[in-house]
């Protein structure tokens, strides 16, 4: 996307649904919803009369604080629930999916918002932590909950949505991708070959590739579930809180200059959760399908 178009889009006042019809009575899961985009999306879902909103977080105490904030702002009580989900642990993902499948009926939306930005190499489940959290566990959760969402579509004659929160920053790391594409998991684990400066946007590019392929394998006509890739734009959030000083300064500075508020960015997450069938497999940005912005 040309820089001028990016700036113009960043400054747009994005639309938000003010009626409850699209969300009322439905059940949503939002990962990473104790802060930033996830918190604001959960807050909106509670506000528009969702039946249940699962705040899926690693830190239960932070999740309870988020729930208290949501209830204080919306005055809607008993809707938000805090569940433990640690994307750095495959077992935690499996436990969460088992609980959700058994106790949530229906599951109308899964907003996979949780991500991490690191600039030093560490491992989780034998893989570089960014890759484990942003890619492997994200898609593991999608695979494990998809049957329940497809069952929801058939049983309730509705259109559930799996929304993966990606970033247009992924489109700017062709060289980083070219360096790892032939042996992706090994090279991203290697201290000598890993480019941690480009790791977060690289993980977002892989999310885009994987999400589009995932959607192509699970056709809407067979499953009844819409899979879309949601870009909230550059937002002022605490994404860089786990990085070192230089990474934090870079992200914070960019946010100060051009960033949306987390609330404004969350509006595209909400749009993705109720978008039409035509959004299946597509890149959604600024509350619109923007396939024209996807590079060849």
Delineate the domains of the chain, giving CATH numbers in brackets: 3-286 (3.40.50.720)
| pLDDT for 247 | 58
pLDDT in the model for residue 4: 74
Mean pLDDT calculated for residue range 217-246: 84
- Is residue 242 pLDDT above 80, yes or no? no
Catalytic residue among 28, 200, 266, 283: 200
The answer to whether residue 204 is catalytic is yes
The stretch 208-231 carries a mean pLDDT of 97
pLDDT at 253: 62
What is the per-residue pLDDT across 167-201, written as a single tens digit (0 to 9) for each?
999 999 999 999 999 999 999 999 888 889 899 99
- Whether 218 shows a pLDDT value over 70: the answer reads yes
Catalytic residue among 67, 148, 204, 236: 204
Nearest to 117 by CA among 1, 27, 249, 292: 249
pLDDT for 251-272, tens place per residue?
Answer: 666 555 667 899 999 999 999 9
CB neighbour list of residue 263: distance below 8 Å, 6 or more residues apart: 40
Confidence of residue 241 (pLDDT cuts 50, 70, 90): low
Percent over 70 (pLDDT), the chain: 91
Beta-strand pair 27-31/52-57:
parallel
Convert the pLDDT of each residue in 3-28 to its tens digit. Answer: 677 767 867 888 887 667 789 999 99
Question: Residue 127 catalytic?
Answer: no
Out of 33, 115, 137, 167, which one is annotated catalytic? 167
Active site residue 122: no
What pLDDT digit, counting tens, does each position of 130-146 carry? Answer: 999 999 999 999 999 99
Residues in the chain: 296
Alpha helices by DSSP H, 80-228: 90-103, 129-131, 137-156, 174-180, 184-189, 199-217, 220-223
Q: Is the pLDDT of residue 217 over 90?
A: yes
Q: Which of the two residues, 273 and 21, has the higher pLDDT score?
A: 273
Q: Return the pLDDT at 245.
A: 59
């Amino acid at each position: 996307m040309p820089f001028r178009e990016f700036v113009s889009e960043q400054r747009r006042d994005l639309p938000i649904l003010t009626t409850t019809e699209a969300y009322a009575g439905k059940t949503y899961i939002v990962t990473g919803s104790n802060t930033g985009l996830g918190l604001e999306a959960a807050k909106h879902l509670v506000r528009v009369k969702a039946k249940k909103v699962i705040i899926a977080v690693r830190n239960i105490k932070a999740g309870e604080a988020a729930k208290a904030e949501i209830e204080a702002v919306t005055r809607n009580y008993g809707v938000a629930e805090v569940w433990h989900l640690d994307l750095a642990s495959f077992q935690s993902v499996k436990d969460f999916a088992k609980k959700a499948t058994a106790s949530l009926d229906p599951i109308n939306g899964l907003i996979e918002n949780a991500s991490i930005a690191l600039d030093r190499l560490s491992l989780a489940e034998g893989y570089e932590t960014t890759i484990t959290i942003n890619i492997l566990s994200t898609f593991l959760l999608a695979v494990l909950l998809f049957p329940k969402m497809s069952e929801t579509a058939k049983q309730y004659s509705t259109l559930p949505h799996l929304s993966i929160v990606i970033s247009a920053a992924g489109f700017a790391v062709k060289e980083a991708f070219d360096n790892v594409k032939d042996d992706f998991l090994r090279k991203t684990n290697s201290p000598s070959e890993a480019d941690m400066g480009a790791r977060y946007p690289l993980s977002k590019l892989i999310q885009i590739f994987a999400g589009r392929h995932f959607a192509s394998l699970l056709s809407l006509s067979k499953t009844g579930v819409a899979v879309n890739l949601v870009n909230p734009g550059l937002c002022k959030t605490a994404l860089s809180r786990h990085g070192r000083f230089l990474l934090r300064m870079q992200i914070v500075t960019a946010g100060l200059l051009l960033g949306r508020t987390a609330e404004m960015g969350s509006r595209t997450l909400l749009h993705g959760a109720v978008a039409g069938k035509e959004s299946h497999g597509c890149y959604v940005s600024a509350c619109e399908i923007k396939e024209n912005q996807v590079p060849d």
